Each structure stands twice: as C-alpha cells, then as structure tokens.
C-alpha cells in the first residue's frame, strides 16, 4: 500500500475524532498499513542483501574457475619445463669443455697451443720475425664475437655460467599454493547459519570480565593498569584492542 492510503485513514480518524466517534477500527487499519510499508521497506533491504550475496557467490565461482585454469597452466608450464631441462642437461658437459678450451693456453695433441687474447698479443709475438720468413698471406685466426667491438676472450666461460644459471632457475620452479586471508566486509551479509568470524584465540574475549575490560579500553585506560588489574598481559590487551575492538594499533613496551 502507498502513503496515500495512510493519509486517507488519517483524515478519517481526524473527522471521527472531531465528531467524538470511535476510531479503534481505523487505528488498527492505520497500524496495518504502516506495518505493510515497513515490511515492504525491510524486504527491499533484504533484497539488496540477497543480491549482494549472489554477487559474492558469482565472484567466488569466477575465482574458482580462474584458479583451476591457473593450476592447469602451471602444470602445463612445468611439463614443458621438464622437457626443456631434459634436453639442456646433456649440453652441460660440452659447455664445460668449451669453457676450458677458452682459456689463454691449453695443452693439445702435438704440443702447446696458444689462444691469443687480441691482435696486440699476436702482433707482439711476430713483431721481431722478418716478414720474408712468413708467407705473404700469413695471418692468425681469431676467436671473436659476431658483434663489432665484443671481445670474445672468456665468453665461453661466461656462456657456461649463464647456462648453469638458466638451468638452475628452470629446475627450481615448483608448484606452490596461496590461501585466501579474508573476512566478509559487511556483517549484514552473514546469516544465522554463517556465524561471524571472531578472534577465537583471544584471551580477553574469553575473560569473565571482558565487558569491563572493553569499557576501560574504550575510555583510554592504560594497558599497564589493566594488566595489573585483570592479570592479562599488555601485548594480549593490545591485540584485543586492535583486532577485536578496532580501536587502532597500540605500541606496547614489554
């Protein structure tokens, strides 16, 4: 019913009161109409709660689907990682050999061989040799990088270190799990069969004089005084004040 109905009843009551007539029946009608309006308003509020709860259910379902897909993606990644590591593992020993050969000198079959670090070393080695004793097209092969200006000396060892690092990173991937740490943000969304989450391990909440303690905390009573009066440590009182009463964190000096 609308407020127009209430106004009509109110007018009728006024008329009857002016005439000195009984208004008990109209009073009941007025109360019923007001109760209907109040009930309708309450239903609208409950509808908002129901919609909010359904929105949370939809969100939870979407999160569960996303988590499931993420788990499948991680399993797929780790499976492909295992294939890559299996292929890379045999390359480790040849890379170590390359790094060993990349030293300044090494012993080869048939004598000692030298790997010149740069052109300066080579030129220094041949500077005192008469040119006519060397072929006209004589030149020393060098180990160099394709990029201009990149010196190659020690790069084989550097590549080995990068490879070992890469292999270590890939091999250390594993599937981990995160757990949600959240509470409903609106107590009105909680029904009787869904009790509100509380600090179950809070010693103050279970204290026989918790109401008196809460009152003193809200009044700003010192934690030191409360500790002596109720035999509860200041750190416990501080946690209770912050987490259970939402009165803000308190720095406690033990």
Q: Cα–Cα distance between 167 and 85 in angstroms, integer?
A: 7
Q: Cα–Cα distance between 202 and 193 in angstroms, integer?
A: 23
Residue 220 pLDDT: 87
**Mean pLDDT of all residues in 181-208:** 58
Average pLDDT taken over every residue of the chain: 82
Tell me if the pTM is above 0.75.
Answer: no
Residue 112 pLDDT: 57
| pLDDT class of 230 with cuts at 50, 70, 90 | confident
| Residue among 119, 101, 207 at smallest CA distance from 160 | 101
Q: Cα–Cα distance between 224 and 230 in angstroms, integer?
A: 10
Residue 33 pLDDT: 85
Tell me which residue has tokens 């720095």. 251
Residues 140/133, Cβ–Cβ less than 8 Å: no
Residue 250 pLDDT: 43
Residue spans per domain, the chain = 3-75, 89-171, 198-254
pLDDT at 200 over 70: no
Residue 228 pLDDT: 81
3-class DSSP state of 75: helix
For 34-80, write each residue's pLDDT tens digit: 888 888 888 888 898 899 889 989 999 999 999 999 999 999 999 99
Residue 178 pLDDT: 87
**Mean pLDDT of all residues in 100-114:** 59
pLDDT at 12 over 60: yes
Residues 248/220, Cβ–Cβ less than 8 Å: no
Residues 115/156, Cβ–Cβ less than 8 Å: no
pLDDT at 81 over 90: yes
């Amino acid at each position: 019913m609308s407020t127009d109905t209430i106004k009509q009843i109110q007018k009728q009551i006024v008329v009857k009161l002016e005439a000195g007539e009984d208004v008990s029946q109209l009073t009941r009608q007025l109360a019923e109409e007001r109760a209907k309006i109040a009930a309708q308003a309450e239903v609208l509020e409950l509808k908002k709660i129901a919609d909010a709860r359904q929105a949370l259910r939809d969100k939870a379902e979407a999160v569960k689907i996303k988590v499931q897909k993420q788990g499948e993606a991680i399993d797929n990644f780790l499976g492909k990682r295992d294939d890559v590591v299996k292929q890379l593992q045999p390359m480790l020993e040849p890379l170590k050999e390359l790094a060993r050969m990349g030293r300044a000198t090494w012993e080869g079959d048939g004598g000692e061989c030298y790997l010149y670090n740069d052109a300066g070393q080579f030129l220094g080695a041949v500077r005192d040799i008469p040119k006519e004793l060397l072929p006209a097209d004589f030149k020393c092969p060098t180990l160099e990088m394709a990029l201009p200006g990149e010196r190659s000396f020690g790069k084989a060892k550097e590549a080995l270190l990068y490879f070992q690092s890469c292999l270590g990173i890939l091999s250390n991937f594993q599937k981990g799990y995160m757990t949600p740490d959240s509470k409903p943000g609106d107590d009105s969304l909680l029904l009787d069969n869904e009790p509100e989450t509380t600090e179950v391990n809070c010693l103050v909440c279970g204290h026989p004089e918790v109401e008196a303690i809460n009152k003193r905390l809200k009044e700003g009573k010192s934690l030191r005084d409360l500790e002596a009066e109720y035999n509860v440590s200041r750190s416990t009182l501080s946690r209770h004040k912050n987490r259970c009463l939402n009165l803000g964190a308190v720095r406690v000096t033990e």
